[in-house]
Amino acid sequence: MATARDPAAVLQHALLTRLKLRQLALLQAVDRHRTLGRVAAEMRLSQPAITKALHEVEDIFDAPLFERTSRGLLPTPAGDAVLEYARRWLAELEATAQVLTSIGSGRSGRLRLGLTQWVPQQLLSTALTHLLQGTPRTAVMTREGVTDELVAALMAGELDCAIGRSYDGPVTGVVQQAFYEQEPCLMVAAASVKRLSRGPLDWARLAQLDWILPPPNTPMRRTYNAVFVGAGVQPPQPLLETTSMRSIETVLRTEANAVCILARDVVAEMAQGGVVAALPYRLGWMLPPVSFFTLKQLEQQPAVVSLRAAVMQTARQMQAKARAAA
């Protein structure tokens, strides 16, 4: 007597036995160019050959992956899902090739690390020193960005781990561990501190200044907007939207009324150059904690475990020193 077969199991069998990596690369090329003629030119094949190859891939997945429109070939819902996994699979393949090349060069491997600029230099230095000065050394690829970008890169298989702010958005396969808390403070040009610190903390007055804020729809921008709203003040329209420390410092050099919120320990590092300084106010809240992110399947990998331990140990030492000095 015939029995019904699980459609997912049938599809999985087709993928295991028929799907080839070059077919995933073809899908990416179609998504990138959106016309078969351009794909054929890139891959140095005839357009009929590309058309046949695309039909073969769609037959494997048992679904149309692209539809013809006036704007070219656009992914169907099934195509979007397949492209997401194709990007991840090909990124993992590239990462594997890089790791093996590093091992072949006498290193212990290669680690792709995401970093946000808004954490103390001491933590960033610990991470890089730990990886680069080990025996044997680990080859490192770093990528800077805001936490949202770093988490997205982790989910896409483009990073192995990251140091950023705690993240409350939807994630799949990413684990995070908070390990360092920071107090925020208001940072202005050093020459403007005396003038801008007159009187008590007044968010209505501060909102009239020239604000430097993170880009819209980032966790920190949402945090700062909530602070203004909680004080009964409309969030200001920023003069500059950025997460770049160099851009922030440049604007503070030239704009006497410019102000931003950064972690107090980061401001202390920047203030050593004499260009910027903190206003003498306590804001009464804490920033989202600095957290260590990695993929669930990598969290027990020795390189990730040792890096996480080194960074967290430095964080404990920094916080102990700060408590002793308070």
In the chain, the domains with their CATH numbers are 7-85 (1.10.10.10), 105-181+289-325 (3.40.190.10), 184-278 (3.40.190.10)
Closest CA to 136 of 115, 108, 167: 108
Cβ atoms of 307 and 134 within 8 Å: the answer is no
More confident residue, 22 or 184: 184
Q: What is the pLDDT of residue 315?
A: 93
Mean pLDDT of the region 108-136: 84
Reported as a single tens digit per residue, the pLDDT across 286-295 is 998 999 999 8
Q: Per-residue pLDDT for 70 more than 70?
A: yes
Tokens read off for 308:
């996480």
More confident residue, 320 or 135: 320
Reported as a single tens digit per residue, the pLDDT across 197-235 is 999 999 999 999 999 999 887 778 888 999 999 999 999
Q: What is the pLDDT of residue 135?
A: 63
**CA distances (Å), origin 241, targets 93, 218, 238, 256, 320:** 36, 11, 6, 17, 34
Phi, psi of 157 (to 5 degrees): 80, 20
Cα separation, 293 vs 304, in Å, equals: 10
Query: DSSP state, 18?
Result: H
Closest CA to 142 of 172, 116, 178, 175: 116
Q: Per-residue pLDDT for 1 more than 50?
A: no
Mean pLDDT of the region 280-303: 90
Cα separation, 202 vs 207, in Å, equals: 9
Cα separation, 132 vs 130, in Å, equals: 6
Cα separation, 117 vs 90, in Å, equals: 28
Cα separation, 45 vs 43, in Å, equals: 6
Phi, psi of 318 (to 5 degrees): -65, -40
